[in-house]
Amino acid sequence: MTMPIDPRSLRKRKNGEAQFKALSYMALSVAGIFLVIFFTDIVRQGYTAFQQTEIQAQVTFTQEIFDNPIPALDPKISRLVSRGVTRVLPMQLRENPQLLGHTQTLWVLANAEVDQYVKGKANRLKPQETALVDELRAAGQIKKVFNTGFFANGDSKLPEMAGILSAAVGTVYLLAITFIFSFPAGVMAAIYLEEFAPDNRLMHIVEVNINNLAAIPSILFGLLGLAIFINFLGLPRSSALVGGLTLALMTLPVIIIATRAAIRAIPDSIRKGALALGATHWQVVWDHVLPLSLPGILTGTIIGLARAIGETAPLLIIGMVAYIQDMPRGLTSAATVLPAQIYVWSAESMRAFTERTSAGIIVLLAVLLSMNAIAILLRNKYERKW
Amino acid sequence: MIVVMAAGLQPNLTWNPLVGMTTVNVRIVDALTGDQSFDSPETLAAFGLGLVLLVLTLGLNIISLTVIRKFRQRYE
């Protein structure tokens, strides 16, 4: 015997489902649209920074170039070249002393205003200067080349000379320190909490606190770093060591939570089987639980480190968001990181820094995207169903 | 971090979301990014604001963990 179905009620339920589905789809679309807008805006503003304008110039190398290189250039174009040549030309002569007394045709960096004009962006060139640029361009004496300086230079007050190298090196330093300090401590703490800790009130408080640390505004870790590492321990301000330690504190709870989840996913039968064969508790953890949960642990670690890479707020407090031109020469010398560099550029008043800011964001996004992709690949490759 | 770039520094106590405002985060950054000695009132105020943030998030986390413990279903 079948139940009689009321067609009206059935239609109503099906309509309800269709509406719910449409609503969910709309929510997803809104998120997708925002993402697309964000990406296109960043790329539209930033892709031009990967090209740089250069001007062909006749340079006569004389002894005077060490004092003032500007007269060595054709006076017609000396207004158009970057002030950075005052540093580059003497350096070239010092490296190749045989150039002395010779005239050479070189491609030198154009200044930011010319660069912006050639790229069709807002600039402050005077009409006769734009006419000159157009003339040189028609003669093939101005060209756009791939902007190697962006990847080979440190920060600079001249937009055309500014690059991300020092920030990228600083990021690598920080990431290494963060990993060294947070990974072992995080994994060991998670093992203790999952495998050995008694289920009592104290552990409950510890759990609440770990969850809390993973959720508090990251700026509080900056306060902690300032109070403990800089003020109490006296470690040097702005250094990669302090930055890495601060980010390690921030990453630690993320790693602990991810590791606990990975360990909890291992079925109890594995542990009981090993125990039944006479293994000690530690042997069970080391030989069975850890190897089986390692993919999950690594995934969580990579995601935690990716979060640390993009962090600026705690670094702002410990003085790493500053004008730092050179690569860090050690763990205790002043360093800056990619997001800090982006933040500094975003506050610059010169228009040419806008595209650098966006280009920096593109680089940072590419790094983060590849890290997260690695995490997902790891998870998909080693994921096991029990 | 985004509030440091997007929010202002006007301490208006208002329900109107269109009026300029500031957040605890922004105040902390503002108080600590300058030249001052460590035990200056500004620095101490920043640490006080940090404590407020910490206590607020701790309260939220205690609520969330209590809810999870209470309503977590065990199917196996």
HSE (side-chain half, CA atoms, 13 Å) at B73: 1
- Taking an 8 Å cut-off on Cβ atoms, the answer to whether B28 and A219 are in contact is yes
Measured between alpha carbons, how far is A274 from A385 in angstroms, rounded to an integer?
19
What's the confidence (pLDDT) of residue B25? 85
Distance from CA of B9 to the nearest CA of A (A): 16
Q: What are phi and psi of A385, to 5 degrees?
A: -100, 135
- Whether A114 contacts A75, CB under 8 Å: no
Among the partner residues B53, B60, B64, nearest to A220 by beta-carbon distance: B53
Residues 222-251 of A with CB under 8 A from B: 222-223, 226-227, 231
Strand arrangement of the beta sheet that strand A51-60 belongs to: A103-109, A51-60, A142-146
Residue A250 to residue A357: CA distance in whole angstroms? 26
CA–CA separation, A335 and A295 (whole Å): 32
Residue numbers in B near A223 (CB within 8 A): 28, 32, 46-47, 50
pLDDT surpasses 80 at A70: no
For residue B36, give how far its alpha carbon lies from the nearest alpha carbon of chain A (Å). 13
**Pick from A215, A220, A313: CB nearest B1:** A313
Contacts of A336 (CB under 8 A, 6+ apart): A155, A166, A167, A170, A238, A320, A321, A322, A324, A344
Q: Record the tokens describing residue A214, joined without a space.
A: 């993973």
Contact B26, B4 (CB under 8 A): yes
Chain A residue with minimal CA distance to B56?
A: A216
Distance set, CA A28 to CA A22, A34, A372 (Å):
10, 10, 20
Residue A5 has pLDDT above 80, yes or no: no
**CB of A269 closer than 8 Å to CB of A357:** no
Residues of B within 8 A of A231 (CB-CB) are 38
> Can you give the pLDDT at residue A237?
85
Domains of chain A and any CATH numbers:
48-95+104-143 (no CATH), 165-382 (1.10.3720.10)
How far is residue A193 from each of residues A205, A211, A260, A264, B69, measured CA to CA in Å?
A: 12, 13, 8, 11, 17
Query: Closest-CA residue in chain B for A208?
Result: B62
Q: In 3D, which of A60, A301, A88, A12 has the Cα closest to residue A182? A: A301
This complex has an ipTM of 0.84
Task: Calculate mean pLDDT across residues A363-378.
Answer: 92
Asked if B10 has any chain A CB less than 8 Å from its own CB, the reply is no
CA A87, distance to chain mean position in Å, is: 29
CB A314 within 8 A of CB A219: yes
**Residues of chain A found within 8 Å of residue B29, distances taken between Cβ atoms:** 219, 313, 316-317
Chain A residue with the nearest C-alpha to that of B51: A220
Instruction: Establish if A158 touches chain B: CB-CB under 8 angstroms.
Output: no
pTM: 0.86
* Mean predicted lDDT score pLDDT of chain A: 89
Interval A253-261 mean pLDDT: 94
User: Which parts of chain B have pLDDT scores under 50?
Assistant: none
Q: Which is nearest to A182 in space by CA: A320, A313, A300, A337? A: A300
For residue A172, pLDDT over 70 is answered with yes
Mean pLDDT of all residues belonging to chain B:
83
Give me the percent of chain B exceeding a pLDDT of 90: 13
CA distance linking residue A348 with residue A259, whole number of Å: 41
Report how many Cβ contacts below 8 Å link chain A to chain B.
62
Judged by CB atoms closer than 8 Å, whether chains meet at B47 and A316 is answered as no
pLDDT 10s digits, A79-118: 888 888 878 888 888 888 888 888 888 888 888 888 999 9
Taking 90 as the threshold, does the pLDDT of residue A191 lie above it?
yes
